[in-house]
Amino acid sequence: MGLKEMGLDVAVIEKMPVLFLRNLDPAMGKIIVEHLEKLGIRILFGRGIDRINGTQKVESVEIAGETIDCDIVVMAVGMSGNNKLAEIIGAKTEKGLVVVNNRMETSVENVYAVGDLVQTYSRIDETPTTMQLATSAYRQGMAAGINAAGGDSPYPGAINTFLTVIGGLEIASTGYTLKIAESLGYDAKAISTKREIKPHYMPDAKEINLRVIV
């Protein structure tokens, strides 16, 4: 949004088919896309940049046969964790994540791990999960520190709470999406509705979109 607020034309290229796939159902992601498009931001899904053209500076990018003229390319490619240290000491890992118990202790006694690289569990049903947010890492670190010092502080698990603001649009979610709930074997249903955060006759009454998974 910063580039758009500077008066630049902006296009977002997303390799995934929807926004925030881990946190929102496609129906909610669509609302975000519509909001961004109203702000004049173009969104291209399911594509990656095939080529960046230019000699002394960026001049254009090629995406699925389409050439888009541009002056700036900002890339956010994510990250891949390094669990080499855990493997060296013999700590159990699964799918690249360090497995810990509810005390944040690894399979190696008195060795603790927290943060983006650990596999913890869902607070909802204790399903193995990871939650790569600073708030979760903070709570995990508190638990690990107390336990390492001889105390008793179990980590309660993650509930996948996520919130952000994009172009003035407030976005939040917690718990499972419909797709994740179904993949875990739940007979889940989704209910979408709109509600006002205040009675309509009050100042600053706004309508919000809700989607509940049951």
How far apart are the C-alpha atoms of 160 and 29, rounded to whole Å? 16
Report the side by side order of strands in the sheet with 128-129: 93-94, 97-99, 118-121, 128-129
Among residues 158, 91, 92, 94, the alpha carbon closest in space to that of 121 is found at 158
Q: What is the pLDDT along the chain (214 residues), one digit of tens a residue?
A: 788 888 889 999 888 888 888 889 999 999 999 999 999 999 988 888 899 999 999 999 999 888 999 999 998 877 778 899 999 999 999 988 999 999 999 999 999 999 999 998 899 999 998 888 888 899 999 999 999 999 999 999 988 888 899 888 899 999 999 999 999 999 999 999 988 877 777 887 788 899 999 9
Please report the pLDDT score of residue 148 as a whole number: 97
DSSP states of 158-188: B---EEEEETTEEEEE-S--HHHHHHTT---
DSSP secondary structure letter of residue 48: -
DSSP secondary structure letter of residue 150: T
First vs last C-alpha separation in the chain: 34
Q: For the whole model, what pTM was predicted?
A: 0.79
Please report the pLDDT score of residue 119 as a whole number: 92
Domains and CATH numbers, the chain: 1-78 (3.50.50.60), 84-148 (3.50.50.60), 176-214 (no CATH)
Please report the pLDDT score of residue 71 as a whole number: 92
17-47 burial, b at 16+ Cβ within 10 Å, e below that, comes to ebbbeebbbeebbebbbeebeeeebeebeee
